Structure 1
């Protein structure tokens, strides 16, 4: 039974987010610039070669993203673990109502992502616009982050204009990534357990390594598939700064998303515009870079989270060793829901693999 508290999970998620942001942020900046509508004009010369400006200021805008990613990551993992545990409590493995574990992981990660995106959206908008600022034209002493924030003084609510776009990208990404990640982690854990003669995998570094490898594989594939949605999200968030400089308009907003060029457009309109002007390659612009940095980032992110979580769990286990209340395990083998045999019971009621920890 896990001995982690919500505080443990929050701290582990925050530590993972901080570590990953520092290491992979430059790759995220490159991805944003490559996906921007002005990429060719700003970062390519007449011969088509990349300008030096493409690789300058790769940490622009990192301040707000670190400040907000820490609580948003903590909220994500706290919600994810709570939903995953809650769904397994409502529908135990030997219930007559059968829900695959992959579906539970997808539902839990989707709910957690909606909570996380609500916290993360303003920082993501500021970050992506700060990544596009040319410091040579505005002076080295001027902060790109403060330069972007000035654009939103008249309409600070524009900082949340990209919530729908961010959620639309992250929901399918997490719905793809986490079921595959959990499946791979279970598979590699079982393989490692067999190689050790049936002994459980208890080492923190070993568990973190297996988690990181599983997350890298699942994350890179999910990132590649969802790149078109990421391109649309990037265009919408970059356009939010231009919209934020304009006086507030009277009357209802005609669309729930804002598109490129400062005009309010739906995500479908932005995607159609990219497809017409740049073709399929435009929708997958930056896919290889995104898959690469997501493989690195997801591995570090979930590996650090898993390592931190189990470190705190081991510390708590050692602290509470000998306490009969804390040592008591809940036995699910005798739980029966419904009348008669369930599809998962067969002749005998057996424990599922996750109950043997």
Structure 2
């Protein structure tokens, strides 16, 4: 069990989310535009070439997502770490009830994702609609989008089910594979170093990033159809039309009508419409880009988290050791002895091996 406090985990998760959002946000914007129902109309020229507007305003909506991903990421990792060890402690060692490690990781990450999605959904809706705005608008794009939700702010949570439906299978696939790969790379590293433990911040972050990148890219590719449906539903949430009513007046803000017509369509209905109109290729639109940016994003995200968490853990242990030495001078050792890296310390919550 890690000696980190919940506050340590929260800060490490928030730091990771902030860092990654700034770096990979442009790729997420491109993915949203590729998955939009109006991609061909808005970002393709009549001769089939890509319109330059596809690459403009790639940071539109970044403010809202950064502000919300900080608490949502902290909530995710706090819940994940607590459940990961809580489930192990709940099952007695000699109990007939057996829950394999991949199942524990899947349950812990899935539950943590439900908590995180409840916090993240409004920002995700604002972000994806802001990403579809024409580049060059003055002022905050997030505030511009938010004005359309003033009368019915509950619509900001309309994409929760779609977001959870995408993220649950994604995390259920990613985290068991991630934990398995991380354990494999750690064992290989220990074999090469004669059983020496992995104590370096950068080494642990590198192993974590590599494992997360591989696991994340595979999970992202598989869950792309759910992500396409989620994108269409969230883009439609900003539509001024909240039902099947017909309005004879023309809409001046055409960007608000991107996505599916009618904001209350179920995910299954949207998927069927995409399959009928665009085929299987439509459900996997942006799959390669999503797999690539998820590999990069997951690697940086969990790598930064692990590095930040281990840094805080090390600082806490050093402070505790210094206080102990100040209270008891007899514990000071003189001469050649074991280094601190050879001391037995508690295992990290991300290193169970």
C-alpha distance in 2, partners of 1:91/1:284?
40
The structure 1 segments of at least 4 consecutive aligned residues displaced by more than 6 Å after TM superposition are: 327-330
**1:328, distance to aligned residue in structure 2 (A):** 11
Select between 144-153 and 34-43 the one with higher mean Cα deviation: 144-153
C-alpha distance in 1, partners of 2:98/2:242?
53
C-alpha distance in 1, partners of 2:13/2:138?
34
**1:154, distance to aligned residue in structure 2 (A):** 1.3
C-alpha distance in 1, partners of 2:141/2:345?
53
Aligned twin of 2:163: 166
**1:146, distance to aligned residue in structure 2 (A):** 1.7
Select between 208-217 and 147-156 the one with higher mean Cα deviation: 147-156
Deviations 1:1-28 (A, max 9, x none): 4110000000000000000000000000
C-alpha distance in 1, partners of 2:324/2:181?
34
Give the gaps of 5 or more residues in structure 1: 250-258, 331-352
Q: Does 1:219 align with 2:216?
A: yes
Aligned twin of 1:235: 232
C-alpha distance in 1, partners of 2:100/2:227?
28
Give the gaps of 5 or more residues in structure 2: 246-258, 326-342
C-alpha distance in 1, partners of 2:209/2:55?
28
Q: In angstroms, what is the RMSD of aligned CA positions? A: 2.2
**1:134, distance to aligned residue in structure 2 (A):** 0.6
Alignment length, in residue pairs? Answer: 319
Residues 166 and 223, structure 2, Cα contact 8 Å, conserved in 1: yes
Aligned twin of 1:184: 181
C-alpha distance in 1, partners of 2:77/2:20?
15
Q: Does 1:147 align with 2:140?
A: no
Q: Does 1:197 align with 2:164?
A: no
C-alpha distance in 2, partners of 1:224/1:190?
28
Aligned twin of 1:273: 273
Residues 229 and 246 from structure 1, CA distance in 2 versus in 1: closer, same or farther, beyond 3 angstroms?
A: closer
C-alpha distance in 2, partners of 1:9/1:168?
26
Aligned twin of 1:56: 56
Per the normalisation by structure 1, the TM-score is 0.85
Report SS of the residue matched to 1:133.
Answer: coil
Residues 159 and 281 from structure 1, CA distance in 2 versus in 1: closer, same or farther, beyond 3 angstroms?
A: same
Aligned twin of 1:11: 11
C-alpha distance in 2, partners of 1:176/1:54?
31
Aligned twin of 2:206: 209
**1:102, distance to aligned residue in structure 2 (A):** 0.4
